[in-house]
């Protein structure tokens, strides 16, 4: 357990020392929220409270997906190519412990990101959520973070080089950005694309995070979304562990 806390602390500090990470995962979500309110200004003015209440959980989930998928992939590949994982391998740290460290790091940073986004939305746009809704959404945010990390670890386990891993993670992220209802209502999409989007992991975690904050419930598709999220989590986690490498190929 002591090794777990030491590694987690080291990874959190490493993450927070990266200017790019601070911008994309702390400043960018706030800028993105402002951008969407400006772009959909007419809609926001016509029904501002409803619009803001709807868009904020989507931005929160989007940021969780970004940090878990892209950030986790990038960090693992950098550690592998720099030989850090090879040195960690010489210690009594197992793959499962290392994965737990990645999840814990993402949880701590994502909770801080989420708190920042929610506080800004409340102060700037009047976003509100009762305490019981925040409490209900918390375990679902943890599920979203864990799933996002598992997807990121799967990409890093299967990719031979940093550039390729980052490209794959970014493609997976941007494919889900506008097709899973996070920041664009599903009814604006072509029917076939909306149907495809409903089976992607971002749709499941997006709905699971949004409805507790909106209505204090898990939503009409709660069972389906939970099943889909856990299926993706178990599959990607198992494959990431199976194909994990301590060193770069070649």
Confidence of residue 46 (pLDDT cuts 50, 70, 90): very low
Helices 201-215 and 162-177: angle between axes, nearest 10 degrees? 50
Classify burial at 92, counting beta carbons within 10 Å of its beta carbon; exposed 0-12, middle 13-18, buried 19 or more: exposed
What is the pTM assigned to this prediction? 0.91
What pLDDT does 188 receive? 84
- Cα separation, 35 vs 27, whole angstroms: 12
What is the overall mean pLDDT for the chain? Answer: 88
pLDDT tens, residue by residue, 96-145:
888 898 889 888 988 888 898 899 999 988 898 899 999 999 999 999 99
Count of CB atoms within 10 A of residue 158's CB? 16
**DSSP state for residue 40 in the 8-state scheme:** T
Helix (H) or strand (E) holding 136: helix 131-158
Most distant CA atoms of the chain, gap in Å: 60
**DSSP state for residue 229 in the 8-state scheme:** H
Cα of 89 vs its chain's centroid, Å: 27
Confidence of residue 42 (pLDDT cuts 50, 70, 90): low
- Cα separation, 74 vs 218, whole angstroms: 32
Distances (CA, A) of 91 to 11, 86, 226, 244: 16, 9, 36, 17
pLDDT tens, residue by residue, 55-109:
899 999 998 998 889 888 988 998 898 888 888 888 888 888 888 988 898 889 8
- Cα separation, 103 vs 150, whole angstroms: 8
User: What spatial distance separates the first Cα and last Cα of the chain, rounded to whole Å?
Assistant: 33
Q: How many helices (H) and strands (E) does the chain have?
A: 13, 0
> Of 248 and 41, which is predicted with more confidence?
248
**Domain residue spans in the chain?**
2-242
Backbone angle region of 127, left / alpha / beta, with phi > 0 → left and psi within -120 to 50 → alpha: beta
- The residue to which tokens 């999840």 are assigned: 103
């Amino acid at each position: 357990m002591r090794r777990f806390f030491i590694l987690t602390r080291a990874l959190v500090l490493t993450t927070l020392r990266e200017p790019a990470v601070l911008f994309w995962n702390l400043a960018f979500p706030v800028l993105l929220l402002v951008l969407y309110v400006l772009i959909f200004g007419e809609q926001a003015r016509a029904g501002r409270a409803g619009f803001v209440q709807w868009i904020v959980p989507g931005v929160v989930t989007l940021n969780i997906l970004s940090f878990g998928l892209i950030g986790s992939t990038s960090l693992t590949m950098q550690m592998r190519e720099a030989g850090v994982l090879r040195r960690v391998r010489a210690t009594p740290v197992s793959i499962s412990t290392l994965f737990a460290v990645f999840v814990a790091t993402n949880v701590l940073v994502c909770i801080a990101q989420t708190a920042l986004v929610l506080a800004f939305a409340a102060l700037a746009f009047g976003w509100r959520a009762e305490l019981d809704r925040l409490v209900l959404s918390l375990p679902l945010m943890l599920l979203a973070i864990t799933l996002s990390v598992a997807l990121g670890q799967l990409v890093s386990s299967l990719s031979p080089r940093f550039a390729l891993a980052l490209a794959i993670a970014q493609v997976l992220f941007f494919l889900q950005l506008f097709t899973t209802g996070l920041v664009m209502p599903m009814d604006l999409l072509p029917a076939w694309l909306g149907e495809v989007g409903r089976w992607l992991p971002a749709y499941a975690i997006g709905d699971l995070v949004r409805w507790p904050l909106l209505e204090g419930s898990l939503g009409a598709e709660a069972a389906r979304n939970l099943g889909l999220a856990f299926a993706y989590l178990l599959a990607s986690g198992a494959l990431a562990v199976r194909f994990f490498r301590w060193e770069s190929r070649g």
